Amino acid sequence: DAKTTQPNSMESNEEEPVHLPCNHSTISGTDYIHWYRQLPSQGPEYVIHGLTSNVNNRMASLAIAEDRKSSTLILHRATLRDAAVYYCILRGAWMDSSYKLIFGSGTRLLVRP
């Protein structure tokens, strides 16, 4: 399974943008880039995913490098509720055995009031 590398922790001020990086240099052409987050004492929550193009939804934006070897999750205005562990995960296509999610250790985001 292709691996991802994320910083262990990051800090941000409330109402400022946050850019969470992820490196995935061994990504294959059929791997989707997924982001999940886990708030304290809760199950993981889907945030966003993409394949090649940048993606936006109500929670965040995902910027994918042209060579797809890295991506960045962007929270446009961090709130205290965004304090969580953020996981960047590669998920293979249907016929690929790696379509299941493999979680790494993620980035712990601290948001300062």
Residues that bind another protein (CB under 8 A): 30-32, 34, 36, 42-46, 49, 51, 87, 91-94, 96, 99-106
Angle at 3 between CA 35 and CA 28, to 5 degrees: 90
Closer residue to another protein, CB minimum distance, 80 or 95 = 95
CB of residue 69 to another protein, shortest distance in Å: 18
Least distance (Å) between residue 18 CB and another protein: 20
Q: How far apart are alpha carbons 64 and 50 in whole angstroms?
A: 8
Least spacing, CB of residue 80 vs another protein, in Å: 21
Q: Which is nearer to another protein, 77 or 100 (CB)?
A: 100
Strand 107-112 versus strand 9-13 pairing type: parallel
Residues 6+ apart with CB under 8 A from 96: 28, 30
